[in-house]
Structure 1
Amino acid sequence: MKKHWFIVLLAVLFEILWVIGLKHSHSIWAWSGTAIAVVFTFYLLLLAGRFLPVGTVYTVFTGLGTAGTILVGVLFFGESLSIAKILLLAILLVGVIGLKTVTSHEAKDGAA
């Protein structure tokens, strides 16, 4: 089951790439890379969703993707970070971690 959560984390990394790519792509090559990242992200989500609870997978994906995108924007693109933004990110992450914690640890058998 850990490998399936690793797939979700990999999807999160690709999501961060394509979301940043939406803002910073200015050439056909950058747009192509962004499009490939979008397709690969959703392929990974579909793969993980076959073995993990889809609601939890999507919640973890969107929560970590949001937090990661904000952090990348702050660290690499000079976007602002306020106390309110930090507090709201913390609340978001507590919710994501809490949902993952209370979700059953039993993996699906892989049947679609």
Structure 2
Amino acid sequence: MAWSLLVVAGALEIIFAVAMKSSDGFTRMLPALVTVASGLSSVLLLSLSLRSLPVGTGYAVWTGIGAAGTAVVGMIALGDPVATARISSIALILAGVIALKLVG
């Protein structure tokens, strides 16, 4: 159950980052509200998952999902540059997340 909560928390972290970009510096109300709600929900689910997961593993997986997912969404939907080095770096983040799950 803790791993499921952690994955959902990571997905909410992606929503948080994209909504923050869309809020245009918190000048647009709906994206700003989505930013706050997804950020708080993400941290809440992270904290619940840390009841049974090691803090280092949980936090690393949470940030890894958020960072890799946000980078992918940025490249696919927001026009962020697509480069071999970026894709390789995302793959390394995902490899680290998978490794942490396997040893955790």
Q: TM-score, normalised by structure 1?
A: 0.84
Secondary structure at the aligned position of 2:80 is classed as coil
| Alignment partners' CA distance in 2, 1:30 and 1:88 | 28
How many positions carry a matched residue from both structures? 101
Match among 21, 24, 28 for residue 22 of structure 2? 24
Task: Specify the code of the residue in structure 1 equivalent to 2:7.
Answer: L
**Which of structures 1 and 2 has the bigger CA Rg?**
1
Conserved 8 A contact 2:3-2:49: yes
User: 2:71 matched to which residue of 1?
Assistant: 70
| Alignment partners' CA distance in 1, 2:8 and 2:77 | 20
- Structure 2: gaps (5+ residues): none
- Structure 1: gaps (5+ residues): 104-112
User: 1:46 matched to which residue of 2?
Assistant: 47
Conserved 8 A contact 2:20-2:31: no
Q: CA deviation at 1:29?
A: 2.3
Q: TM-score, normalised by structure 2?
A: 0.90
| Alignment partners' CA distance in 2, 1:91 and 1:13 | 18
Identity, in percent, stands at 37
| Alignment partners' CA distance in 2, 1:45 and 1:88 | 24
User: 1:7 matched to which residue of 2?
Assistant: 5
Please provide the CA RMSD for this pair: 1.2
Question: Which ranges of 4 or more aligned residues in structure 1 deviate by more than 2 Å?
Answer: none
Q: CA deviation at 1:42?
A: 0.5
| Alignment partners' CA distance in 2, 1:13 and 1:96 | 14
| Alignment partners' CA distance in 2, 1:64 and 1:35 | 19
| Alignment partners' CA distance in 1, 2:96 and 2:30 | 37
